[in-house]
Amino acid sequence: MNINITLRRRRRWSTLSIVDMGAIWHVYNSFKVLLVFLYIIIRSYVDYVYIAFLLFEGRRKMIKIIDFNKELQNEVKNFVIENINNELDIKDKNTFLKITKDLDNIEENYINKGGNFLVGYDCLEKKIVGTIAYTFENKIAVLKRFYVSKDSRKKKIGYLLYKTLEENIKFNNIKNIYLVSGKELECAHVFYKKNGWKEEINNPGIFVREGAILYKKEVEE
C-alpha cells in the first residue's frame, strides 16, 4: 500500500516538472523574440541618427565663412535689414535709418576703419545665411551685425561665425570689445553671457538705442 502511494506522488511531481519546464521554455522564447525586436528598433534608430549626423555634417561643410567684398554689398545689406525687421520692432523711421546707415557702405565703415566683416555663405544654395562684424567707434572696438537666418539656426553657423571673428580680434591684439543688443533678443543674450560677455554700465561713447543693452568682453590672449 505504501509503495503505490509513493509511485503516485513521484508521477505527480514528474508531471508538474514537465509542465513547469514547458512554461519556462515558452517564456524564454518570448523573451528572446522581444530582445530581437528591441535590437532591431535600437539598431534602426542608431542608423537613422548616424545618417542624419552625416547629412548634417555634409550640409554644414557647404557653409563657408568668407570676408566681405564689394560684390556682396547689396546682398549683405538686404540680408541684415531683413533680419532687423524680423527681430526688432523699430517704428521710428529716423532711428531705423540711423542704426542701418553703416550698411550703405560696408567697406568704408568696417574694412577701411580697421575692422572686419564676415559672411556665412551657403555654397549649395548660393545665398547668405549669416553675418558678423566689428568696427571702431571713437577708437573703441564694437561687435556688430551678428545675424543668422531663421532657417539656418541651431546648425552651429552662428558659433562658427563668432569664433572666426574672435580669432581675428585676437590676431589684431584688441583687448576689449563692446556690443549693443536689444532687450527683446533673449536667445542672443544667453549666447553672449555664455561666451564671456558682461553687461556694461559705463558707456565709453558708443551709440546705444533705447531699449538696448551694452555688453563688454575682455579678449583673452
Contact 67, 165 (CB under 8 A): no
pLDDT over 90 at 145, yes or no: yes
For the segment 49-80, what is each residue's pLDDT rounded down to a tens digit?
544 443 444 445 578 899 999 999 999 999 99
Contact 185, 191 (CB under 8 A): no
Q: Could you tell me what percent of the chain has a pLDDT over 90?
A: 33
Does CATH place domain 63-218 in 3.40.630.30? yes
What is the rounded distance in angstroms from the CA atom of residue 51 to the CA atom of residue 162?
28
Would you list the domain boundaries of the chain?
1-61, 63-218
pLDDT over 70 at 14, yes or no: no
What is the rounded distance in angstroms from the CA atom of residue 114 to the CA atom of residue 134?
9
Q: Is the pTM of this model over 0.85?
A: no
For the segment 90-130, what is each residue's pLDDT rounded down to a tens digit?
777 888 888 899 999 999 999 999 999 999 999 888 899 99
Q: What's the pLDDT at 117?
A: 96
Q: What is the mean pLDDT of residues 22-35?
A: 68
Cell of 24: 519556462
Q: Which residues pair with 177 in a beta bridge?
A: 217
Helix (H) or strand (E) holding 6: helix 2-60
Helices 93-100 and 73-87, packing angle to 10 deg: 140
| Helices marked H in 172-215 | 186-194
List CB contacts of 167: < 8 A, sequence separation 6 or more.
none
pLDDT over 90 at 89, yes or no: no
Mean pLDDT of the chain: 80
The DSSP line for 33-101 is HHHHHHHHHHHHHHHHHHHHHHHHHHHHTTEEEEE--GGGHHHHHHHHHHHHHHH-----HHHHHHHHG
pLDDT over 80 at 9, yes or no: no
pLDDT over 90 at 37, yes or no: no
